[in-house]
Structure 1
Amino acid sequence: MTTTVPRPPAKVSFRDRLLRLAETVTTPLLPDDYLDLVAPLRAGADLRGRIVAVEPETADAATVVIRPGRGWRGHTPGQYVRLGVDVDGVRQWRAYSVTSPPGRPDRCITITVKAIADGKVSNHLVRRVRTGTIVQLDQAQGDFVLPAATPRRLLFVTAGSGLTPVMGMLRAGAHGDADVVLVHSAPRPQDVIFGPEVRELAARGVIRLVERHTEVDGLLGPDELAGLVPDHLERQTWACGPVGLLDALQERWASHGAADRLHIERFRRSVAAVGEGGTVSFARSAVTVAADGATPILEAGEQAGVLMPSGCRMGICFGCVVPLREGAVRDLRNGELTTAEPGDGVLIQTCVSAAAGPCDIEL
C-alpha cells in the first residue's frame, strides 16, 4: 500500500505577501512602476542613469555627467554606451564614447557630445537637457580599447569628436611609460574638444600633440600624417574620425602590410554602394514613403513619423533589426542585396539598409 504525503505549502515571505497585496491595489500599474518614480536607479531595476551636470566644452560640444544605477558594471577606456533619452515625447537611442576614466570617486561616468546639424539627440543633450533628467543606459561595449600590455609606441589619429574615445584612454593613464603621439584635426583651435586638457598633457611632456586646423592646413590625410609622424606605420595606431579619413588610413596601412597595427572606431557607416531606391511600406503603421537609394530605412521611417527602434545607427548594436516582409533592400556598407518574399521573415538592420525597389517592413 502506498501512502501519499501531501507536500507542505511553500513558505511565502512577508515581503512577497506585501508585494502581492500591492499588486492587487495598484493594478493596472505594478509596484515596480511606482518604485521607478521614487528610486529609478535602484538595484534590480532596468539600467538607468541620472544626469547630474552638463559642462560646455566648445561652442557646439558638451560633456554630460551621468550617475548610473546600481546595475552598472563599469567600462574599459575606449568603449561606448548606448543612451536612451526622451526627446519631444519619443525615446531615442544613440551611442556615445565614455570619456571618463573607470572608477571615479563619485561613481559617475561622462559622455561628450558634439551637436551636429539636424541632430535631434545631440542638440538636445548639448543645449536643452536639464540636470536631474533620467536616461536609459545599456552596459558599456566595444573593442576600441588598448591591450592589457600597453605598446611602447602609440599613435592616436583623431578628428572632430573622434577624440572622445581616445580621451577616455588618456584620462585612464594610457600614456604610462609609452611614447605617445596624438594627431588631432579640427576646423580651428577653439573647436578642439578637450583642447586645454590635451595641450596641458603636451606641455608636461606626457604626450606629443600635433594639432591640424583644417581652415588653415586643409584636411588631414595619410600623406600629411607621414610628414608629421615619419614612423607612423611602425606604431600601434588607434584612429577615430570621419569616414573619409578612416578609409584612407585603412588603405595606407593595408598597402604597407601593417593592417594589424591599425585599430579603427567608426561613428558613422561607410557607404560602399547605394541602391536604386523605392517605396517603403510600414505595415502596422499604415505608412508608405518614397526613399532614395542612399537614405537608410531607419531615417526614412523616422522622417515619416514611424516609431522606429534604433541604437548605434552604424550597424553594430543590432538595436534596429526588424523583419522585411517583402521586397528588396541594399546594405549601404557593402552593397549586398537582400530580398524577401511573403513568409520568409528575413531580418534586416534598418540603419544600414536602403530601399532597392519596393519593400514592406513589419513596423
Structure 2
Amino acid sequence: MTTTVPRPPAKKSVRDRFLRLAETVTTPLLPEDYLDLVAPLRAGAALRGRIVAVDLETRDAATLTIQPGRAWRGHTPGQYVRLGVDVDGVRQWRAYSVTSPPGRPDGRISVTVKAIPDGRVSNHLVRRTRPGTIVQLDQAQGDFVLPDPTPARILYLTAGSGITPVMGMLRAGVPTRADVLVVHSAPTPADVVFGTELRALAERGEIRLVERHTDRHGLLGVDDLAGLVPDHLERQTWACGPVGMLDAVQEHWAAAGVADRLHTERFRPTVISPGEGGTVTFTRAGLTVAADGATPILDAGEAAGALMPSGCRMGICYGCVLPLRQGAVRDLRNGEITTAVPGDGVLIQTCVSAAAGTCDIDL
C-alpha cells in the first residue's frame, strides 16, 4: 500500500510575516501610507514630485522646478504633465507643459504656471507654493511635438501662457538649418513669459521673434498674419493660446485647405464643486445611487446591486480600485478630496472613498 504524506505548508518568509504584522498594526492605513511620509519619491511608490524651487517669470507667472520620483519616464519637448495639487484640502488636477529640456543631469523637470483670475490652482502654485511641497504626477503625454525630420520652415504662434510648450521645444535645441519664426502675443513687454530668453535667442539669430503687445496693438488676429508672416500658410505651424485664438486659426487654415499643417494644443478648464455626499453613477452598469458622505462607494454600489470588485474583506488590498471618470470623492481615512474630469484617468479605492458630490465610476 502506498501512503501519501501531505507536504507541510510552505513557510512564510520573514518579510511576509513582517508585512502582515505591519498591516495589522497600521490598519486601516497600510505600511506604504507611512512610507509615503518619509520617502514619497521612492521606487515603487505612486508617481510624485518634490518642488525644489519656485522662480517668478513675470508678475503673474512662475516656474516650478520639480524633482520627480524614480518612476518618471521622461518627456518629449512640447508634452505636458498633469499635477495633482492639494489646495485647501481638495486635490485638484491640472495639466502644464514641461518647459525644461529632456535629460537634465539632475533629473529635474520644470513647469511654468500663469496665474489666471479666479484660478484656484494656478494662483496657489504661483503665489503660495513653497519649495519642499510634494505634488502628484502623471507621466508626460501629448502629441504637440516636432516630427522627425524637422520641417524646414516652422511657425510658432502663441499667446499668453501658450508659449510654455514652445519654450520646452526651443530649450531642447533649435533645429539647425531650419527657419524658425515665433509670433507671440502678450499684454505688455513685461508680461512676455520667458521674454528675456526669447529675445536672446533672436539676437543670436537662432529664431526670428515677432512680439505683439495687446495694450498697443490690440488682440492678435488671423488677419494680421498676412502682414506679419506672408508665408504662414506654407509653414508647419504649432499654435497654443486662448480658445478664441485657436478656433480662429483652425478655421483660417482649414479654409485655405492646409489644415494638416496646423498643430494646436488646448487645455480644458476643470470646474468641480465638492460637497457632502451625492449621486454616484456606475456608467457601464447603468446604475445611479444616492450616497451620503460617510458611506464607502463600495458599500453603496453593492447595496444597489452593482457587482463591485473587492478583496478588502479577505485582506487583499487594492482589489476594489476603479477609475473615477468624473466628479469628486472624499477619502474617509484623512478627509482628502480627489477630483477628476473625463480623461484624467484617476483611480480610487472604493472601500475608503465616499461621494463628495456627483461622481461617475467606470464600472
Deviations 1:328-352 (A, max 9, x none): xxxxxxxxxxxxxxxxxxxxxx9xx
Specify every segment of 5 or more residues in structure 1 that has no aligned partner in the other structure, as ranges.
Answer: 270-280, 287-297, 302-306, 321-349, 351-359
Give the deviation of 1:137 after TM superposition.
0.6
What is the aligned counterpart of 1:284 among 270, 291, 296? 291
SS at match of 1:163: helix
CA distance in 2, matches of 1:5, 1:179: 80
Asked if 1:188 is matched to 2:218, the reply is no
Deviations 1:214-258 (A, max 9, x none): 110111111111211111111110000011111111111111111
Give the deviation of 1:361 after TM superposition.
6.1
Partner of 2:205: 205
Kept in 2, the 8 Å contact 1:51–1:135? The answer is: yes
SS at match of 1:263: strand
Partner of 2:68: 68
Kept in 1, the 8 Å contact 2:328–2:338? The answer is: no
CA distance in 1, matches of 2:10, 2:74: 38
Partner of 1:170: 170
Opposite residue 137 of structure 2, the aligned amino acid is L
CA distance in 2, matches of 1:181, 1:8: 74
Matches of residues 259-298 of structure 1 in structure 2 within 5 Å? 259-268=259-268, 282=279, 283-284=290-291
Q: Which runs of 4+ in 1 moved over 6 A?
A: 298-301
Give the deviation of 1:20 after TM superposition.
2.2
SS at match of 2:37: helix
Give the deviation of 1:267 after TM superposition.
2.1
What is the identity percentage for the equivalent residue pairs of Structure 1 and Structure 2? 74
Partner of 2:314: none
CA distance in 1, matches of 2:2, 2:150: 70
Partner of 1:329: none
Structure 1 300/82 Cα, relative in aligned 2: closer, same or farther at 3 Å?
Answer: closer
CA distance in 1, matches of 2:248, 2:15: 61
CA distance in 1, matches of 2:89, 2:62: 23
Partner of 1:6: 6
CA distance in 2, matches of 1:71, 1:196: 34
CA distance in 2, matches of 1:161, 1:299: 27
Partner of 2:214: 214
Partner of 1:309: 339
Partner of 1:143: 143
Partner of 1:93: 93
Give the deviation of 1:285 after TM superposition.
5.3
CA distance in 2, matches of 1:26, 1:48: 23
Deviations 1:159-209 (A, max 9, x none): 000000111011111433311000000000000000000100000000000
Structure 1 60/285 Cα, relative in aligned 2: closer, same or farther at 3 Å?
Answer: farther
Opposite residue 263 of structure 1, the aligned amino acid is H
CA distance in 2, matches of 1:2, 1:203: 92
Structure 1 285/234 Cα, relative in aligned 2: closer, same or farther at 3 Å?
Answer: farther
SS at match of 2:71: coil
CA distance in 1, matches of 2:189, 2:101: 25
CA distance in 2, matches of 1:52, 1:24: 36
Matches of residues 233-252 of structure 1 in structure 2 within 5 Å? 233-252=233-252
Partner of 2:105: 105
Asked if 1:19 is matched to 2:26, the reply is no
Give the deviation of 1:11 after TM superposition.
5.3
CA distance in 2, matches of 1:3, 1:225: 91
Kept in 1, the 8 Å contact 2:181–2:207? The answer is: yes
Deviations 1:128-172 (A, max 9, x none): 011101111111111111112111111100000000011101111
Deviations 1:22-42 (A, max 9, x none): 223333332111111110100
Structure 1 196/223 Cα, relative in aligned 2: closer, same or farther at 3 Å?
Answer: same
SS at match of 2:193: coil
Could you state the TM-score of these two structures normalised by the residue count of structure 1?
0.76
SS at match of 1:193: coil
Partner of 2:158: 158
SS at match of 2:57: strand
Q: Which moves more between the two structures, 260-269 or 229-238?
A: 260-269
Structure 1 48/260 Cα, relative in aligned 2: closer, same or farther at 3 Å?
Answer: same
Give the deviation of 1:362 after TM superposition.
5.6
Partner of 1:114: 114
Alignment: residue pair count:
297
Structure 1 196/30 Cα, relative in aligned 2: closer, same or farther at 3 Å?
Answer: same
Partner of 1:52: 52
CA distance in 1, matches of 2:217, 2:180: 23
Deviations 1:69-127 (A, max 9, x none): 00111111111111011111111111111111111111111110000111111000000
Opposite residue 207 of structure 1, the aligned amino acid is I
Opposite residue 184 of structure 2, the aligned amino acid is H
Kept in 2, the 8 Å contact 1:85–1:92? The answer is: yes
CA distance in 2, matches of 1:60, 1:210: 22
Opposite residue 255 of structure 1, the aligned amino acid is A
